[in-house]
Amino acid sequence: MRDQLAAYCVPIEAAEYRRTEPDDRRFDDFLIPFDRWEGSAPMLALLGVPQDEGVRRNGGRIGAAEAPPAIRQALGKLAASIGSRSLPDNVRVLDCGVLAVENMSLEDVHRRQEHVVGLLLDSGASVVVLGGGHDTALPDGRAIGKRATRLGIVNVDAHLDVRPPAIEGSHSGSPFRELIEDPACRLGMLIEFGTQPFSASAHHVRYVLERGHAVWMLGDIRRDTLDVALDRVVDALDACDAVHLSLDMDALASAYAPGVSAPASDGFRPDEVARIVERIAALPTCRLVDIVEVNPRYDADGRTVRLAAYFAAVALWTFAHRTRCR
């Protein structure tokens, strides 16, 4: 594992900051860079994918390639506790840094990402992936789907991302169409969650529905209350033996997440997204959470980076507590 990661990944330095108390535990104390990882197979892993070529192909504004190191550094500084409960001392997260992508085509990046995520899943880890454009979800979905009998995906997003690939190939608007149409991915249930009015084309909604998948509009989720909607999502995922949660940060109102490739008019609040991550990542079948489309170039004083780090912390925290219960 360690050798393989050394061939494909580059470590991220932790941020520098001051700590004066030994009991002041941060996520940095639990994130172990792959080049210092010892011993057994990881239960938890973190991987960054620093590319925005898929965004460029989709006509979007680039910058998402800069997100993974920024999110990783913000995550490391967070206190590793909720109230008086700390992350247990024996928790260790294999920090894979960022995928090495220099001078590689997007197709090669996707293949490398699928390979590394596959390695991590095969070793038994539950994985948090930091994008990158939303095409990050394509190799993620392939890696987990090829290891499942029936894959469930929850895409938390203002958009659907089921456009056809472009002439150049995959892009940030096409991952879920490609996953639907690739039988090797064994996609049993795609749940589009938080789609916004006037942000998705009707024929794309029909495309999703006609294939037996689901579209939850933001307004419907709120009318039912989020917890009721999540109950139904969890029910719908019951028949899946693997679950992939994909969180596009433009699912949040741009007041909360200004630094994204394609900001939406309305959207979820931070507490709503935290609740979604908690519920889905708590499923024993959920082995993969990706957090994508953060664009630091358009951020406001690190607000979106910090929020993405918070959701990564919620995912890791939930994975860690679920793991301990087994």
Using alpha carbons, select from 98, 32, 27 the residue that is nearest to residue 313. Answer: 27
End-to-end CA distance of the chain: 24
Nearer to its own copies, 170 or 195 (CB): 195
Nearer to its own copies, 186 or 213 (CB): 213
Q: Minimum distance from CB of 96 to its own copies (Å)?
A: 21
Q: Does 314 bind its own copies (CB under 8 A)?
A: yes
Q: Does 20 bind its own copies (CB under 8 A)?
A: yes
Nearer to its own copies, 59 or 212 (CB): 59
Both tokens assigned to 183? 């039988």
Size of the site for its own copies (CB under 8 A): 61
Which listed residue (163, 177, 279, 287) binds its own copies by CB under 8 A?
163
Both tokens assigned to 99? 């995928």
Q: Does 263 bind its own copies (CB under 8 A)?
A: yes
**Dist. CA 95–CA 37, nearest whole Å:** 9
Which listed residue (2, 206, 211, 324) binds its own copies by CB under 8 A?
206
Q: Minimum distance from CB of 303 to its own copies (Å)?
A: 5
Q: Are 152 and 192 in contact (CB under 8 A)?
A: no
Using alpha carbons, select from 242, 324, 317, 253 the residue that is nearest to residue 83. Answer: 317
Both tokens assigned to 278? 């908690």
Q: Does 322 bind its own copies (CB under 8 A)?
A: no
**Dist. CA 220–CA 139, nearest whole Å:** 30
Q: Does 151 bind its own copies (CB under 8 A)?
A: no
Q: Does 215 bind its own copies (CB under 8 A)?
A: yes
Half-sphere exposure of 291 (CA within 13 A, CB side): 35
Nearer to its own copies, 83 or 183 (CB): 83
Strands, E, within 3-107: which ranges? 9-10, 31-33, 44-48, 81-82, 85-86, 93-99
Nearer to its own copies, 235 or 301 (CB): 301
Q: Minimum distance from CB of 205 to its own copies (Å)?
A: 4
Using alpha carbons, select from 193, 291, 283 the residue that is nearest to residue 243. Answer: 283
Q: Does 105 bind its own copies (CB under 8 A)?
A: no
**Dist. CA 194–CA 159, nearest whole Å:** 8
Which listed residue (7, 184, 202, 325) binds its own copies by CB under 8 A?
202
Nearer to its own copies, 126 or 195 (CB): 195
Nearer to its own copies, 12 or 160 (CB): 160
Nearer to its own copies, 126 or 318 (CB): 318
Q: Is 135 helix (H, G, I), strand (E, B) or coil?
A: helix
Both tokens assigned to 206? 């029909």
Q: Are 173 and 161 in contact (CB under 8 A)?
A: yes
Binding site for its own copies (CB under 8 A): 17-18, 20-21, 23-25, 27, 59, 78-86, 163-164, 166, 195, 197-203, 205-206, 209, 215, 217-219, 222, 253-256, 258, 263, 265-266, 269-271, 274, 298, 300-303, 306-307, 309-310, 313-314, 317
